[in-house]
Each structure stands twice: as structure tokens, then as C-alpha cells.
């Protein structure tokens, strides 16, 4: 039996397990996805120098289902090809072709997170003020063969090879406002902030953990747990304050858990195409925004 949207659209739990979306969300996204698909394929046809393989997925629903299924479940490409009745080589082509279509789709729905601090500030200026949180998240990667890359991507914290991103999220709407670039796992959260000049509007409240110790943001009300002094203990007042901060800051962890519903950023990352490691993180953050925009109290 070939896997397709028609076979699972009336099975709510199965559809959500395979795509992270329910039927109404899937069909809403599919309308924009098809518009982008038609535009990009028409541009390709206008250029006679561009060849390309034939389209194996015949309907707009199956094209969207294919790429969402891959991102959500992250099977081996050979398994994916078998499920959708195509060769592994064609499955590989479709993954990267449809990832570009999905990114532009989520851009048009307004769900892509900002990647430049100035863009985040401009977007926040148009929204109702709310408390924000920032945290880093690591993803495992296969052990690089090159010795230099092995050292570069080895994370002492995770005891394995990883990539890292910083995420800024709203603590009320649970939306991802900013996604940093993808860095090697050993890089400190604060250093990523310094290199990318991550900031938020003056007067806002920002909740973060001690990994950002020393990252100063003038005019921003920073809430950060107090570290236990060397050789000493925190006062009862400090412990109470730390618990209060943690209860609010944990919402950022909930957002990251929402991102990692997609196995492609939870399992060991296997793809070798350049920059795809960063692209999929952007896609899953945008999918989280798409879902949380349409579900009340979903996280």
C-alpha cells in the first residue's frame, strides 16, 4: 500500500502523528503550499536550460504530506522511498525541492521566525508587549570524519557531537520570535548572543538561565536565577526568587519541546546537504508557530 494523504486524512491521531498538523491546519497550509508550488514550477519550465526529474507526487496534498511526514518522522530515505513508491534518489530530490516550497509557504503565512535581530525588533514593535524568554537548544549530529570538525562539534555538556541554536520566544503567545544561526555545539549560549547582537526592546522583561551570565542588555529587565556562591549556599530568599523565575522561564522549555515534536531535530541529524541543518530548524520553528497560532492553550 502506498502512503498518501487520502489514506490518513480521516484518521486524526494518525495524521497528527505523521505531520504534526490536524486536518483543518493541513488543508489551510495546503492552499498556500500549492500556490508556491505552481509559481516555482512555472519558473522552472520557463527556463529551457533547467531539466529535472519528473514529479513523482501527483497531487498538492501528497506533496505537502510527503515533506511534512519526512520532517515529523525522519525515516531513512530508503524507507521513505519505499513508503511513497519511488526510488531513493528521487526521494532525495523531492525532500530538498519540497523543503524550499514549504519554507516559502510558511514565510507567506507569516510564521517564519526572524533571523536578524533588527527584523525581530521591528516585528515586536507591531505586537502587544509581553515577557520574553531566551534559551539555547542542541541537536545531535553524526560524528564528523574530519578530526577538526570532531573537536569543533563535540559538546562537553552532551558528551556527543551537536549543533546549537538560540531561541527567543514570547511567554504569552508561545511564539518563536527569533532563531539564531546554527552553530557548533561547544559554542556558549552567551557567545552566540554576542556574535549575533541579539537584543530585545528596552523596557521589556527577559527571562533566561545562567548560561547567559554576563550578556548585558541596557534598558531590559533581566530575570535570571542566582548562582550558588562558591563554597557557600543561597539564602532562603534567593531560593524562593529562583523558583519564581524558573516557573515563568519554563515556558521557553515548552516552546522547545514543541519544536522537537519533529523528529528531524530530535534524532541524530543525518543529512549532508550544505545548510540543510539550519533550514530544517527554521522549518520546524515556523511549523510550531503555525500550530500555536491556530490552537489555544496548545502548549
Q: What is the pLDDT of residues 35-77, one digit of tens each?
A: 999 999 887 665 555 555 556 788 999 999 999 999 999 999 9
User: Can you tell me the distance from the alpha carbon of 246 to that of 249, in angstroms, rounded to the nearest whole number?
Assistant: 5
| Grid cell at residue 184 | 557548533
| CA nearest to 148, candidates 159, 135, 136, 161 | 161
DSSP count for the chain of H helices, then E strands: 10, 7
pLDDT at 73: 97
Predicted pLDDT at 215: 86
Q: What is the mean pLDDT of residues 189-211?
A: 93
C-alpha cell, 224:
535570571
Q: What is the pTM of this model?
A: 0.91
* pLDDT over threshold 50, residue 299: no
Q: Give the C-alpha separation, 4 to 6, whole Å.
A: 6
> Could you report the per-residue pLDDT of 122-175, keeping only the tens digit for each?
999 999 999 999 999 999 999 988 888 888 888 887 789 999 999 999 999 999
CA 165 to mean position of chain CA atoms? 9
Amino acid at each position: 500500500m502506498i502512503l498518501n494523504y487520502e489514506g490518513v486524512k480521516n484518521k486524526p491521531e494518525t495524521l497528527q502523528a505523521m505531520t504534526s498538523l490536524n486536518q483543518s491546519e493541513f488543508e489551510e497550509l495546503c492552499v498556500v503550499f500549492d500556490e508556491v508550488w505552481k509559481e516555482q514550477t512555472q519558473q522552472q519550465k520557463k527556463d529551457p536550460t533547467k531539466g529535472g526529474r519528473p514529479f513523482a507526487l501527483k497531487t498538492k496534498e501528497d506533496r505537502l504530506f510527503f515533506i511534512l511526514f519526512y520532517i515529523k518522522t525522519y525515516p531513512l530515505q530508503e524507507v521513505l522511498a519505499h513508503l511513497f513508491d519511488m526510488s531513493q534518489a528521487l526521494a532525495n530530490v523531492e525532500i530538498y525541492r519540497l523543503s524550499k516550497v514549504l519554507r516559502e509557504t510558511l514565510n507567506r503565512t507569516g510564521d517564519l521566525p526572524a533571523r536578524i535581530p533588527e527584523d525581530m525588533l521591528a516585528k515586536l514593535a507591531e505586537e502587544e508587549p509581553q515577557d520574553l524568554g531566551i534559551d539555547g537548544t542542541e541537536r545531535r549530529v553524526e560524528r564528523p570524519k574530519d578530526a577538526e570538525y570532531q573537536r569543533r562539534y563535540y559538546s562537553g555538556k552532551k558528551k556527543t557531537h551537536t549543533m546549537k541554536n538560540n531561541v527567543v520566544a514570547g511567554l504569552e503567545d508561545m511564539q518563536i520570535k527569533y532563531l539564531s544561526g546554527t552553530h557548533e555545539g561547544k559554542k556558549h549560549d552567551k557567545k552566540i548572543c554576542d556574535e549575533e547582537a541579539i537584543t530585545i526592546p528596552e523596557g521589556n522583561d527577559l527571562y533566561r538561565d545562567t548560561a547567559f551570565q554576563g550578556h548585558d542588555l541596557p534598558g531590559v529587565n533581566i530575570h535570571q536565577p542566582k548562582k550558588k556562591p562558591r563554597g557557600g549556599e543561597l539564602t532562603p530568599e534567593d531560593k524562593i526568587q529562583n523558583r519564581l523565575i524558573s516557573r515563568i522561564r519554563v515556558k521557553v522549555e515548552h516552546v522547545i519541546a514543541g519544536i522537537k515534536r519533529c523528529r528531524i531535530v530530535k534524532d541524530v541529524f543525518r543529512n549532508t546537504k550544505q545548510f540543510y541543518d539550519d533550514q530544517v530548524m527554521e522549518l520546524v520553528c515556523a511549523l510550531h508557530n503555525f500550530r500555536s497560532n491556530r490552537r489555544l492553550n496548545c502548549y
